[in-house]
Amino acid sequence: MAKSIAVKKGLVWIIILGIFMLAFIVLQPIMIPIILGLLLAYIFSPVYKTVQLRIGNKNLSAFVFLALLFSVVIAPLIYFSPIIAKQTFDAFSSLQNIDFSKIFLKYLDPNLARLLSSNMENILAKIVSGFLQQLTELLVNLPSFLLKVAVFLFTFFFALRDSDELRDYIFELSPFSSSTEKKFMEEFRGITNAIVFGQVLIGIIQGIALWVGLFIIGFPRSIVLGLIAAIVSIIPILGTWLVWLPTGLLLLISGKVFDGVFVLLYGGLFVSSLDNLIRPYLLSRKSELPVALSVIGTIGGLYVFGLTGLILGPLILAYALIIVEFYRKGKLDELFKKK
């Protein structure tokens, strides 16, 4: 009899595990859009609650907020996308037509000039082929991409609308003690704010600032360079100098001394310093995660999760560090709720 009950319990657990495995298989292709929707719902929840206080109805408030978000973020992206695409193709065409050997021969030994010219041409060829490959994959996978966008919007809408209920439900399911949950939430809030405001928003501001400077001197394809500057500014270790430095040097080499000096001074003294000027005003609190682990987590997260890894990478390391700290202090029992 006891053996029969044990067999039945084993079968029940196998069925439960099988159901969860099948659920994971179903959700795995759309896991990133779901996570992104949940993250953005958390980030924008204070703004949504302000809208809800004025309107009252949850559904209507969520629709109004999505409409506002569309007009502020999505509409400009749709408007500028054709311009960015055109300027990107023009930039690649211009770079391929540059005779680097002539430029290097003016300042370097002929053998070294030919070597550098050959390397530059190879690098440009790889960049162009990589870009075209990514563009082709995007076009081929467009239906899949649109479905993922739909999943993201669906998740974002309902997570935003039912944020309080979702939070309470997660806390009810959580096996952790209230003090551990509080610490996890503090780390989540600190890392999210640090990434969104400390990296993403500041990166966008620096990209716009560089675009304005290039636009002032009439530099062609300034929008693309501003976009690239924003992207490299968001990624740790990199920065806008990867754009304004070669641009300024290229202008100097081509004989446009004033424009080159302006870009180098503007980029070095103004654009790069925006980070130090704006960051203290945007970040009210910081995560306890060490800077080195934050950088490692961000880079690793980008490799594993893509853009959502900017937050997920450091967050996973922060949670791991919290558990290690509990273990180091001999307080692992405090992690979990007491029955």
Range with top average pLDDT, 24-38, 74-88, 185-199, 296-310: 24-38
Chain-centre distance for alpha carbon 167? 24
The alpha-carbon radius of gyration of the chain (Å, integer) is: 25
pLDDT at 29: 84
The larger pLDDT score, comparing residue 165 to residue 180, is at 165
DSSP string, 66-101: HHHHIIIIIHHHHHHHHHHHHHHHHHHHHHHH--HH
pLDDT at 242: 80
Specify the residue for token string 């609650």.
49
Listed in sequence order, the residues at least 6 apart from 313 whose beta carbon sits closer than 8 Å to its beta carbon are 296, 297, 298, 299, 300, 301, 302, 304, 305
Residue 58 CB neighbour total at 10 angstroms: 15
- Integer Cα distance of 80 and 83 in angstroms: 5
- Integer Cα distance of 310 and 25 in angstroms: 24
List the single range of 170-179, 198-207, 237-246 with lowest mean pLDDT. 170-179
Whether 101 contacts 114, CB under 8 Å: yes
Structure-block tokens of residue 132: 């075209």
What mean pLDDT value characterizes the chain? 75
DSSP one-letter code for 106: T
Q: Which amino acid is at 135?
A: L
Whether 239 contacts 232, CB under 8 Å: yes
